[in-house]
Amino acid sequence: MLVFTLGSLKGVYAEDDIHGMARLTYRSSETETETEGKESSWLFSQVYNLMLSKALTPKVEFTANVDANVIDSDEEKTTFLSPDLRLYVRNEYFDANTGYELTERGLDILTASPDGERYTTKSWNANLFTKSEKYPTVRLLYNEDRDHDHLDVHRTDNKTTDFFGNAEYAYRFLRFSYDYRNNIFDDYVTGSTQKTDTNYGRADFRKSFWENRVTSSGSYFLTKRRVETTTSGKDRVPETKQAYAGLYAEDPLDPCDVRLESRESLIDGDKITSTGIDIGGGSTNLNQNIGVDLNFATEVEQVKLYTTPPEFGFSENDFTWAVYSSNDNLTWTPITNAAGFDYDTNEDLFEISFTCASARYFKVVNTNNNLKPLYVTEIEAIGFTTAGTTDYTFEGIQAYLGAKPVDWLSFTYNFTQDKQDTDPGSDQTRTTNDVSGRVERELHRYLGTWAQYRRRWVEDSEVEDTTTDTYLLHFLSSPLETLDTDLSFTHTVLKEESETQSKSSSVLFQVVAWLLEGAELDIDATIIHSEDLKVESKTISRLIDANLRLELTPMLTAEIEYDRAWTETKKPDGDTTRRPWFGQVILYWRPSHEFYLRASYEIDKHDKGDKTFRQQYNLSWLMTEKIEFNTACTLERNDKTRFIFSPNLSWDLSRMLTLRFLYDWSRYEEDTVTEMQTFMIDLSARF
Q: What is the pLDDT of residue 652?
A: 92
Tell me what the pLDDT averaged over the chain comes to.
Answer: 89
Q: What is the pLDDT of residue 234?
A: 63
Q: What is the pLDDT of residue 370?
A: 80
pLDDT in tens, 666-685: 888 877 788 888 899 999 98
Q: What is the pLDDT of residue 672?
A: 78
Q: What is the pLDDT of residue 8?
A: 31
Q: Is the dihedral of CA 329, 330, 336, 340 positive or negative?
A: positive
Q: What is the pLDDT of residue 15?
A: 42
pLDDT in tens, 3-16: 323 333 333 333 45
Distance CA 614, CA 675 (A): 19
Domain spanning 245-386 has what CATH number? Answer: 2.60.120.260
Instruction: Identify the CA nearest to 214 among candidates 401, 433, 438.
Output: 401
How wide is the angle at C-alpha 264 spanned by C-alphas 401 and 348, nearest 5°?
A: 165
Q: What is the pLDDT of residue 4?
A: 28
The stretch 348-356 carries a mean pLDDT of 93
Distance CA 67, CA 46 (A): 11
Q: Is the pLDDT of residue 431 over 50?
A: yes
Q: Is the dihedral of CA 253, 259, 265, 267 positive or negative?
A: positive
Contact 600, 586 (CB under 8 A): yes
The stretch 604-623 carries a mean pLDDT of 88
Q: What is the pLDDT of residue 11?
A: 33
- Structure pTM? 0.79
Contact 644, 657 (CB under 8 A): no
Lowest mean pLDDT among 63-67, 85-89, 397-401, 674-678: 674-678
How far CA 100 is from CA of 66, 145, 417, 590, 656, in Å, comes to 12, 10, 43, 50, 30
Between 499 and 116, the more confident residue is 499
Q: What is the pLDDT of residue 455?
A: 96
Count how many Cα atoms sit within 13 Å of the Cα of residue 684 in the half-sphere of its side chain: 13
The stretch 122-147 carries a mean pLDDT of 93
Three-class DSSP category at 6? helix
Q: How much helix, strand and coil, in percent to the nearest 5, is found in the chain?
A: 5, 70, 25
Q: What is the pLDDT of residue 113?
A: 54
pLDDT in tens, 469-520: 999 999 999 988 899 999 999 999 999 888 898 999 999 999 999 988 889 9
Distance CA 148, CA 343 (A): 17
Q: Is the pLDDT of residue 533 over 80?
A: yes
The stretch 440-453 carries a mean pLDDT of 92
Instruction: Identify the CA nearest to 176 among candidates 135, 204, 217.
Output: 204
pLDDT in tens, 376-391: 999 999 998 888 888 8
The stretch 154-177 carries a mean pLDDT of 93
The stretch 264-293 carries a mean pLDDT of 87
Domain residue limits, the chain: 38-144, 245-386
Between 463 and 333, the more confident residue is 333
The CB density around residue 119, as the number of other CB atoms within 10 Å, is 22
- Where does 387-511 have alpha helices with state H? none
Q: What is the pLDDT of residue 416?
A: 96
* Predicted confidence band of residue 237 (pLDDT cuts 50, 70, 90): confident
What single-letter DSSP state applies at residue 533?
Answer: T
Lowest mean pLDDT among 324-328, 347-351, 422-426: 422-426
Three-class DSSP category at 319? coil
For the chain, percent of residues with pLDDT exceeding 70: 95
Q: Is the pLDDT of residue 111 over 80?
A: no
Burial of 315 (0-12, 13-18, 19+ CB in 10 A): exposed
Q: What is the pLDDT of residue 557?
A: 96
Lowest mean pLDDT among 54-63, 231-240, 337-346: 231-240
* Predicted confidence band of residue 108 (pLDDT cuts 50, 70, 90): low
Greatest mean pLDDT among 407-421, 527-541, 566-580, 603-617 lies in 407-421
How far CA 17 is from CA of 54, 333, 409, 604, 655, in Å, comes to 7, 58, 63, 54, 18
Q: Is the pLDDT of residue 168 over 80?
A: yes
Lowest mean pLDDT among 234-243, 363-372, 544-553: 234-243
For the chain, percent of residues with pLDDT exceeding 90: 59
Q: What is the pLDDT of residue 10?
A: 34
Contact 410, 438 (CB under 8 A): yes
Q: What is the pLDDT of residue 445?
A: 85
Q: Is the pLDDT of residue 349 over 80?
A: yes
Distance CA 197, CA 223 (A): 10
Between 655 and 197, the more confident residue is 197
* Predicted confidence band of residue 199 (pLDDT cuts 50, 70, 90): very high
The stretch 292-312 carries a mean pLDDT of 90
pLDDT in tens, 28-42: 888 877 777 788 888
Q: What is the pLDDT of residue 9?
A: 33
Q: What is the pLDDT of residue 32?
A: 79
The CB density around residue 369, as the number of other CB atoms within 10 Å, is 24
